[in-house]
Amino acid sequence: MRLLRRTGQGVSKGLLITNVRLVDGHSDFRGDLYIEDGLISAVGRGLRIPDADVLPGGGRTLLPAFVDLHAHFRDPGYPEKEDIESGSAAAVHGGYTAVAVMANTNPVCDRPEIATYMQEKAARAGLIELYPLGTITRGIAGEELSNMDGLAPHIWAFSDDGRGVERPNVALLAFRRAAALGRPIAEHSEYRGIDDPALAEEVMVNRDLLLARRTGCALHVEHVSSVGSVELISAAKRDGVPVTCEVTPHHLCLEPGYIVNPPLVPREVRERLLAALASGVIDAVATDHAPHTAADKEKGAPGISGIETAFPLLHSRLVRTGQLDLQSLVRAMAARPARILGLNKGSLEPGRDGDVVLIEEDEEFTVTEDWLLSRGKNTPLIGQRLRGRVWATVRRGQVVHLDGKTFGRDFDDHRSIV
């Protein structure tokens, strides 16, 4: 059966997706969606577009494509774990078309040429939009500022992710410089040496909120895992401090035991994090996709390869159980992270980028190492059954993933998909 077909004989005018449930942060109905010139052009019922390519949705659920504020593609430096091509393929397999990648590569992204290398390599792969972060300090050593002025045109934020900037004088200089450059500080909030992970996070969150308040620099708090941090952020937001924050799927859904940083949390903390996400105090879900080799994981390397399982995990554990509605999840995975990055994505309104995903909400599937396109197979979900598989991912009106197959830059005529 052809999965894409033409409605006429002329040159294709765009992509028409038919017979779907359309869900974004403010709407939920059945109908069709049309993408032309890379943008959503029309949404409605019974759309007829002469000479458009048609992707029959088959009753599946259509959502805005996801935006990830926090992933590790390990490129340059660690191709055995991941590179930009394999990370991009994993991203579209998971329904993501825009991904912010962390700076703790080798060499680290503390110079403009590293950021441009990342962007150019992603452009050649042709699957996603990639947004690098640049380091706050040289070599992520926490001692002196990186070339923040040179990095600023090529990145969306500054982060020493993997380490918090512990020296207050260095942090203050960084917040002042980032504010002048119009870029956020994205902080890995952890003071090493404090043996209580929640307290180690809260102390740095508290300090950085004060710096954001005093300097006017936008602060983005990464992978929030503490109820105390949520309370601090909530109070700061009420006071008008420019702060946003994220939570990971694994901190919302998984029991303690698997090694990640910050550590997984007990059920009562997960419930508080979920409530903060539903209320909007926590702005976004970000994967913290952290692929490792089996050997490194056996040695205790923290992290989960999670960009492909993020939506199915959250859908299975939270949406299907009634703990979170689908529209709230879409806001957290698409609308709000797109707003934080300043992207024209995250909803199904006409005029937005034609980035969408089609989900099989009811079909159950098993997570296997072969199913994962990431080189990192480090996830406790191997062998588990989930629902909410991403069936198709569309970027700017081009099908980049369909039913297990990924199509990058070299696949420039999606009309031949069968």
Return phi, psi of residue 219, to 5°: -115, 130
**Which residue type sits at 95?**
G
The encoded tokens of residue 378 equal 């480090």
- Residue position matching structure tokens 């307290």: 199
186 sits in which H/E element: strand 185-187
Beta strands 284-285; 243-247: pairing state: parallel
Q: Are 282 and 224 in contact (CB under 8 A)?
A: yes
User: How deeply is 181 buried, as exposed, middle or buried, from its count of CB atoms within 10 A (0-12, 13-18, 19+)?
Assistant: middle
Q: Are 283 and 245 in contact (CB under 8 A)?
A: yes
Is 288 labeled as catalytic in the residue annotation?
yes
Q: Show the beta-strand stretches assigned E in 222-273.
A: 243-247
- How many residues does the structure list for the chain? 418
Catalytic residue of the set 161, 288, 353, 355: 288
Neighbour tally for 361: CB within 10 Å? 18
The encoded tokens of residue 196 equal 């209580």
Q: How far is CA 258 from CA 11, 147, 194, 380, in A?
A: 52, 36, 21, 7
The catalytic site residues sit at: 288
